[in-house]
Amino acid sequence: MSTVLVTHVPARLARFVLRMFPLRTHAAYGLLWALALEASAVSLTGTAWRPTGATWVRVLSVVLALLFLRMLDEQKDLDHDRVHHPDRPLVTGAITAAELRGAMAALTALLTGLNAALSPAAVLLILSALGYALLLAALERLSATVRDRQLLNLAVTYPVQVLLGIYVYGTLAADGTVPADWRAGVLLTLCACVFLHFEFARKTAWEAPPGARLYSAGLGPRRSAAVTAALAAGAVCCQIALFLPDGPAGLLPCLTAALPAWGLRRFLRARRGGWPLPAATGFVAGTHLALIARASVLP
């Protein structure tokens, strides 16, 4: 690569990030997820939550880790994108695999430095998530079954998100802010149900266009819709288990379940198209915002 091209790399990476990791969606999700998880964990100790400097290290670490995963996915999906998404940056040459790998190395170094300011446990936990993602990329290259079977692929790739959730909760437990008890598992399950509701919603449709990787293609539209709705119900059940002792006011985040209920009804009645994504997006954003608000106000 020439010197001129090297000087262009930051701009090329910036364009990649703006297109493939839009701040209003991907970064906003990382922000809300990390804040909701920390805030809920702290509120369960009986203390109203307030963000600290460590909070913003966790938030930034989650967002940067999600960006790392997006860069990795772009490389993993290259062969598929050449056929079905020829306008993707890596396919068109708007970015190269070497540039993405360099950016991933820089992100790893930055995440290590950020979390060294928290604790050795924080460094270990964040690097564990990145390391698992890299192992999965190697596994997908070796196994067409893991790569091409949607449900199996989800089963082996989703634990990366679980590890990021463990990073947030684990760093809180490491500094003595929260206990490492049964509530940690329920809270992480709550976050998983919220995310997986959206994941299934965006890949549930009555029709399967060529090249589309839909869960409904394997499960069928109705069963995929049932799983989508069940995940939202699972999130509500987790909130009841965690927050019922606070009384009715503690369960206000459960009101966002009206959105998946409406989405399911509309999807089944339409018998065409996909799950209404505004309802799924609203459920994710609304639940996280409600959890943050609840933790900020209620002891």
In 3-state terms, what secondary structure has residue 14? helix
pLDDT at 3 over 60: no
For 271, the token pair is 């018998």
Is 80 exceeded by the pLDDT of residue 236?
Answer: yes
Same domain, 57 and 130: yes
156 occurs within a structural domain: yes
To the nearest whole percent, how much of the chain has pLDDT over 90?
77
Residues 167 and 225 in one domain: no
* Domain assignment of residue 167, yes or no: yes
Q: Looking at the structure, tell me whether residues 207 and 130 fall in a common domain.
A: no
HSE of 36, CA atoms in CB hemisphere, 13 A: 23
User: Is the pTM above the cut of 0.85?
Assistant: yes
- Tell me the C-alpha distance between 193 and 23, whole Å: 23
When pLDDT is cut at 50, 70 and 90, the band that residue 1 belongs to is very low
Predicted confidence at residue 253, as pLDDT, reads 82
Structure tokens at 239: 């909130």
Residue 290 contacts residue 282 (beta carbons within 8 Å): no
pLDDT band, very low/low/confident/very high, at 291 (cuts 50, 70, 90): very high
Both 297 and 207 in one domain: the answer is: yes
pLDDT digits (tens, 9 = 90+) for 102-120: 999 999 999 999 999 999 9
- Rounded average pLDDT over 139-149: 85
Residue 208 shares a structural domain with residue 173: no
Where is the domain boundary, 153, 180, 207?
Answer: 180
Eight-class DSSP state of 274: B
Cα–Cα dist 257/261, whole Å: 6
pLDDT at 248: 72
DSSP single-letter state for residue 27:
I
Q: How far is CA 32 from CA 160, 178, 209, 287, in A?
A: 18, 19, 32, 9
Q: Is residue 202 part of a domain?
A: yes
Residue 13 covered by a domain: no
Residues in the chain: 299
Residue where one domain finishes, among candidates 113, 146, 180: 180
Looking at residue 244, its pLDDT comes to 86
Domain around 111: 52-180
Asked if pLDDT for residue 49 goes beyond 50, the answer is: yes
Assigned domain for 8 exists = no
Is residue 44 in a domain?
Answer: no
- Reading the block at residue 287, the tokens are 């639940």
CATH number at residue 122: 1.10.357.140
Of 148, 180, 212, which one is at a domain's C-terminal end? Answer: 180
Same domain, 60 and 164: yes
Q: With cut-offs at 50, 70 and 90, classify the pLDDT of residue 2.
A: very low
Tell me if residue 74 falls in helix, strand or coil.
helix
Tell the burial category of 93 from Cβ atoms under 10 Å away from its Cβ (0-12, 13-18, 19+).
exposed
Whether 120 and 207 share a structural domain? no
pLDDT at 125: 97
Is pLDDT of 292 > 50?
Answer: yes
Residue 106 to residue 177: CA distance in whole angstroms: 30
Same domain, 117 and 199: no
Q: Where are the alpha helices (DSSP H) in the chain?
A: 3-20, 28-43, 53-76, 78-84, 89-92, 97-116, 120-142, 144-148, 150-157, 159-174, 182-202, 215-219, 221-243, 258-270, 277-297
Mean per-residue pLDDT, 141-160: 89
Q: What is the pLDDT of residue 96?
A: 93
pLDDT cut 70: percent of the chain above it: 97
CATH number at residue 233: 1.20.120.1780
Same domain, yes or no, for 95 and 139? yes
**Do the Cβ atoms of 296 and 48 come closer than 8 Å?**
yes
How many domains are contained in the chain? 2
Q: Is 10 helix (H, G, I), strand (E, B) or coil?
A: helix
Query: What is the pLDDT, as a whole number, of residue 5?
Result: 61
User: What pLDDT shows up at residue 285?
Assistant: 96
